[in-house]
Amino acid sequence: MVDEANLVKGCKKNNRKSQQALYDHYCKKMFAVCLRYCRKAEDAEDVLQEAFVKVFTKISSFRSESSLYYWIKKIVINTALNYQRSKLYLYPMVDVNELHYLSEKEFTLNNIHYNDLIKLLQSLPDGCRIIFNLYAIEGFQHKEIAEMLSISVGTSKSQYSRAKFLLKEKILNTEKVLHGKLQ
């Protein structure tokens, strides 16, 4: 069991061993977060690297009252958003028609490993992928997302709707492949 308080104390003293221990403890979970936001693993590694450098340089501002995991995750998400922001400027998100073709009742992902789910997310267009992550997984509201990404609430909703549609389609296809229905 890792003693987070001691790790944080060591990191605040710029102790490299503590920093590495902290990295080792959280890098896998945070890398998974990065992979959800980035299309390529190389990009995700860049984000992870940049995020942890920020963690170690800003650790003095961390207050023990909050959870270290969520504090680091917040930095990772913000870094990922900044990393993607240039792409979002290049390819601005626009409203798309909301799609409700598939039923959401009794929807489960039990049969799919999270590695495959991450790959599905990575296959989404940049805008869709980011908004889906923020809304469905991180739990942000569309209003918050709109403020974070400087877009309209409508754009956030429509992009999310599109992401959901694309994902359901891909999941259905995956299940068909898994059950041999496409043959």
Partner 1 sequence: MESYNKKNKTDFENAWSEALENAEATPDSKVWQNINNELLHADHVRLKGYYKTYKMIAAASVSLLLLAGTAFTYFYIYQPEYKSLQTQTETTEKQPEAIAKNQQNNITEGDKNINKVKKNQEVEESITESLESAQQESSFNQTLSNSDILVQDKADTEKVNNTLVSNSSLPSKAQKLNERAQQSTDDAFHAVSSIDIKKHKLVVFSKNEMALPPKIYQREQKQTPMPNYNQQIVLAEETEEIEIVKRDKSKRFYADVNVLTDYFNPNLELNSPQVNQVVIGQLSSLSEEMNTQLLGQENAPSVSFSYGINMGVKLSGKWIVEGGVSYANYNTQSLSNLAIANVNNGIAMPVTILNRPLIDNETYEATLLDLGNLYTINNSFEFASIPIRAGYIVGLKKINLILKAGVNTGLFLRNEISANDDALEPYVNKPNDSESPFRKVHLNGLVSNEINYALNQNYSFSVAANYRFALNSLTKEGENINSMPDSYGIGMVFRYHFN
Q: Exactly one of 139, 180, 182, 183 binds partner 1 (CB under 8 A); which one?
A: 139
Q: At what angle do helices 68-90 and 41-58 cross, to 10 degrees?
A: 130
Is there binding between residue 109 and partner 1 (CB under 8 A)?
yes
Question: Taking a C-beta distance cutoff of 8 angstroms, is the pair 73, 83 a contact?
Answer: no
95: phi then psi, degrees, rounded to nearest 5? -65, 140
Collapsing DSSP states into helix, strand and coil, what is residue 113?
coil
Minimum Å gap between C-beta 179 and partner 1 is 18
Rounded Cα distance between 177 and 16, Å, is: 47
For residue 176, the minimal CB distance to partner 1 (Å) is: 18
User: Quick check: helix, strand or coil at residue 90?
Assistant: helix
| Residues near partner 1 (CB under 8 A), total | 41
Which x/- pattern, by CB under 8 A, does the window 58-97 give for partner 1? ----------------------------------------
Place of tokens 């956030």: 156
Residues 8-47 close enough to bind partner 1 by CB under 8 A: 14, 16-17, 19-20, 23, 27-29, 31-32, 35-36, 44-45
Q: Which is nearer to partner 1, 13 or 92 (CB)?
A: 13
Task: Report in angstroms how near the CB of residue 159 gets to partner 1 at its nearest.
Answer: 15
Site for partner 1 (CB under 8 A): which residue of 7, 96, 135, 156? 135
With a CB cutoff of 8 Å and minimum separation 6, the contacts of 98 are 157, 158, 161, 162
- Please report how close the Cβ of residue 89 comes to partner 1 at its closest, in angstroms: 26
Q: Which is nearer to partner 1, 92 or 143 (CB)?
A: 143
Residue 84's contacts (CB-CB under 8 Å, 6 or more residues apart) are 37, 38, 126, 130
